[in-house]
């Protein structure tokens, strides 16, 4: 079957962010828009010719249509085999699992992660390399450069592939295999965790939990693993049907957007454990009866207890965290005698460390935790890890938290998000802070003396690559910090993220309300950045 050459012209807005290209659905539906970006992938990734490509997404609006376009283009560009999740579904960690298990040459993942879905909402696309992780900056830079000069793309005329029927078909000269979206991932989880112990936990009759799939991609995975394989009561998974608009909700597993399960853990009759995952299954929120585990604390606790699980019984080689993530994991790494790396935000920065065997666990404050089992953060994996710990330690979530703080101290931590801020105003705020940085060291801010102030940059210890402009850090004597960043995951305006952290070693002060404990630092951050004056916002949209 002859490839069709379609003439096109570049779009000027196809630069990938921290997790690929994210825009409104209607932007992707423009003639040639998706095709240009996909062709740029094929034009820059020579290994795909004659190779195998994994394709799948989180099921959001436009997922199926985009997959058919990509498959036709893959056939025209000489891909030999395409592995597609049944129904066009693949969670992001499951896609990474499949890329690695079958040693493919990469994958195209369709998702805007935790962003809303629907005809007027968000869509996204990213390329994952053969190691299973997000493309490094050298690859995304090459893809972006190609989008700026592209003048044609290749496709074929062909009927749509039946995505709902498991089995093989042909598309031109390319073999298309529609695969079970859940099986390989579930098998991997069973190899890492003590399913028998977790099954006994559910069968004890004294343990109650809920998992909120938020009408996103993890519904089928959670039902199969938690209910079918581990014996959790039917109905343990709520909102388990994947919907193109995520049921009209916001598929972000935080205290605001997943408030329904937060309420289920409150009071004397509250659930013992609750969790949620996001649109594409790579994020997680962990709750116990009457308590919330911050993602920063979760990473530290998993690292400190990893030896209790089959997959990590030999301990951890090292830990990595994104720069804005609290320093709780650093204290665990020091106690374990292993390295702790501080990287920029974006999962791709963990890839080299994982591939080189320098780290075993990694995480970000933005509800992402993962390990060397795949090359993506993994929401359901984190939930299973916690269930394994609960089964092994015979303690509640609150008791595990309390014991951890007594041993390592508590890093009080919060993130304040100001969403949809005027982009010019947000840039002006950051420029204002940039000008302040040189004069801040040694300066007294309330009860805090500034120890350092910088614009974080990172030199990769494996390949020597340098990432600059990764966020503004203001560190105080004693370990407290304020960090300012503009997020790269939104599609409208700018999101200003302010991260505030304070270390407390005294166990008698480990149970203060977080916002109260951090109140003085929160006020300093707002005044220093002139947030209200520059953005018109007198309060954040989301507090986590």
**HEC profile of 418-436:** EEEECHHHHHHHHHHHHHH
Token code pair at residue 418: 């100001």
How far apart, in whole angstroms, are the C-alpha atoms of residue 163 and residue 166?
8
pLDDT value at residue 544 = 85
- Show contacts of 458-461: CB within 8 Å, 24+ apart: 458/323, 458/342, 458/343, 458/344, 458/349, 460/349, 460/352, 461/341, 461/352, 461/353, 461/358
pLDDT value at residue 405 = 98
Token code pair at residue 225: 């693993």
Q: What is the pTM of this model?
A: 0.94
Catalytic residues: 113
Per the rule left: phi > 0, alpha: psi between -120 and 50, beta: everything else, 455 is beta
Kindly give the pairing relationship between strand 472-476 and strand 273-277: unpaired
Token code pair at residue 7: 């003439």
Dihedral, 485, 489, 492, 496 alpha carbons, nearest 10: -20
pLDDT value at residue 517 = 96
CA angle 128–103–34, rounded 5-degree value: 30
CB-based burial of residue 114 (10 Å sphere; 0-12 exposed, 13-18 middle, 19+ buried)? buried
The DSSP 8-state label assigned to residue 135 in this structure reads P
Residues of the chain with CATH 3.30.310.50: 410-543
Q: What are phi and psi of 217, to 5 degrees?
A: -70, -25
How far apart, in whole angstroms, are the C-alpha atoms of residue 333 and residue 303?
8
| Options 3.60.20.10, 3.65.10.10, 3.30.70.100, 3.40.120.10; CATH of 4-181 | 3.40.120.10
How far apart, in whole angstroms, are the C-alpha atoms of residue 443 and residue 188?
51
Q: Which of 270, 278, 322, 328 is nearest to 298 (CA)?
A: 328
Q: CATH second-level architecture of 185-408?
A: 3-Layer(aba) Sandwich (3.40)
Neighbours of 288 (CB within 10 A): 23
Q: Measured on CA atoms in the order 428, 433, 438, 439, is the torsion positive or negative?
A: positive
Neighbours of 175 (CB within 10 A): 16
How far apart, in whole angstroms, are the C-alpha atoms of residue 365 and residue 398?
19
Residues of the chain with CATH 3.40.120.10: 4-181, 185-408
Token code pair at residue 119: 């005809």
CB-based burial of residue 223 (10 Å sphere; 0-12 exposed, 13-18 middle, 19+ buried)? buried
Edge-to-edge strands, sheet with 237-238: 237-238, 209-212, 273-277, 284-288, 291-293
Token code pair at residue 238: 């709520």
How far apart, in whole angstroms, are the C-alpha atoms of residue 438 and residue 330?
27
pLDDT value at residue 205 = 87
Q: Measured on CA atoms in the order 255, 260, 265, 268, is the torsion positive or negative?
A: positive
How far apart, in whole angstroms, are the C-alpha atoms of residue 492 and residue 420?
6
How far apart, in whole angstroms, are the C-alpha atoms of residue 249 and residue 256?
11
Is residue 381 within 8 A of residue 371, CB to CB? The reply is: yes
Bridge partners, residue 481, by sequence: 475, 501
How far apart, in whole angstroms, are the C-alpha atoms of residue 90 and residue 24?
21
| Options 3.40.50.300, 3.40.50.880, 3.40.640.10, 3.30.310.50; CATH of 410-543 | 3.30.310.50
Give the number of residues written for the chain. 544
Neighbours of 184 (CB within 10 A): 15
Decide: helix, strand or coil at residue 230.
coil
The tens place of each residue's pLDDT in the chain, 544 residues long, gives: 789 999 999 999 999 987 899 999 999 999 999 999 999 999 999 999 999 999 999 999 999 999 999 999 999 999 999 999 999 999 999 999 999 999 999 999 999 988 999 999 999 999 999 999 999 989 999 999 999 999 999 999 999 999 999 999 999 999 999 999 999 999 999 999 999 999 999 999 899 999 999 999 999 999 999 999 999 999 999 999 999 999 998 888 988 888 899 999 999 999 999 999 999 999 999 999 999 999 999 999 999 999 999 999 999 999 999 999 999 999 999 999 999 999 999 898 999 999 999 999 999 999 999 999 999 999 999 999 999 999 999 999 999 999 999 999 999 999 999 999 999 999 999 999 999 999 999 999 999 999 999 999 999 999 999 999 999 999 999 999 999 999 855 556 899 999 999 999 999 999 999 999 999 999 999 999 999 999 999 999 988 8
């Amino acid at each position: 079957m002859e490839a069709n050459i379609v003439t096109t012209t570049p779009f000027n807005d196809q630069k990938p962010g921290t997790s690929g290209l994210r825009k409104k659905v209607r932007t992707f539906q423009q003639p040639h828009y998706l095709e240009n970006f996909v062709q740029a992938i094929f034009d820059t990734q020579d290994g795909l010719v004659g190779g195998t490509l994994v394709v799948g997404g989180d099921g959001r609006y436009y997922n199926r249509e985009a997959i058919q376009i990509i498959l036709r283009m893959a056939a025209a560009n000489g891909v030999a085999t395409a592995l597609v999740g049944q129904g066009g579904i693949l969670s992001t960690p499951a896609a990474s699992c499949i890329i690695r298990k079958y040693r493919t040459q990469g994958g195209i993942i369709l998702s805007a992660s935790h962003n809303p879905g629907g005809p007027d909402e968000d869509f996204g696309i990213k390329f994952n390399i053969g190691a299973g992780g997000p493309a490094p900056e050298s690859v995304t830079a090459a893809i972006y450069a190609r989008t700026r000069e592209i003048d044609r793309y290749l496709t074929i005329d062909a009927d749509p592939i039946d995505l709902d029927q498991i089995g093989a078909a042909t598309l031109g000269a390319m073999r298309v295999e529609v695969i079970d979206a859940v099986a390989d991932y579930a098998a991997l989880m069973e190899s890492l965790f003590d399913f028998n112990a977790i099954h006994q936990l559910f069968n004890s009759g004294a343990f109650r939990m809920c998992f909120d799939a938020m009408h996103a991609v993890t519904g089928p995975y959670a039902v199969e693993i938690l209910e079918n394989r581990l014996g959790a009561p039917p109905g343990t998974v709520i909102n388990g049907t994947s919907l193109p608009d995520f049921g009209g909700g916001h598929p972000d597993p935080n205290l605001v957007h997943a408030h329904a399960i937060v309420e289920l853990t409150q009071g004397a009759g509250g659930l013992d454990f609750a969790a949620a995952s996001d649109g594409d299954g790579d994020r997680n929120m962990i709750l116990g009866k009457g308590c919330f585990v911050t993602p920063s604390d979760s990473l530290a606790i998993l690292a400190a207890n990893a030896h209790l699980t089959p997959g990590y019984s030999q301990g951890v080689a090292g830990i990595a965290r994104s720069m804005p993530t609290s320093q709780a994991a650093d204290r665990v790494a020091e106690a374990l005698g292993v390295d702790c790396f501080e990287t920029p935000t974006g999962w791709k920065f963990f890839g080299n460390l994982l591939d080189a065997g320098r780290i075993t666990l990694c995480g970000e404050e933005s509800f992402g935790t993962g390990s060397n089992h795949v090359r993506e953060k993994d929401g359901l994996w984190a939930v299973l890890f916690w269930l394994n710990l609960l089964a092994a330690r015979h303690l509640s979530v609150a008791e595990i938290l309390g014991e951890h703080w007594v041993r390592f101290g508590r890093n009080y931590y919060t993130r304040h998000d100001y969403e949809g801020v005027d982009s010019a105003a947000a840039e002006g705020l950051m420029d204002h802070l940039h000008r302040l940085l040189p004069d801040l060291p040694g300066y007294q801010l309330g009860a805090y003396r500034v120890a350092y102030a910088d614009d974080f940059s990172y030199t990769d210890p494996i390949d020597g690559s340098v990432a600059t402009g990764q966020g503004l850090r203001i560190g105080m004597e004693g370990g407290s910090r304020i960090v300012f960043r503009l997020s790269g995951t939104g599609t409208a305006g700018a999101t200003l993220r302010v991260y505030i952290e304070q270390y407390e070693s005294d166990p008698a002060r480990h149970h203060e309300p977080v916002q109260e404990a951090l109140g003085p630092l929160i006020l300093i951050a707002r005044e220093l950045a002139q947030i209200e004056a520059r953005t018109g916002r007198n309060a954040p949209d989301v507090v986590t």
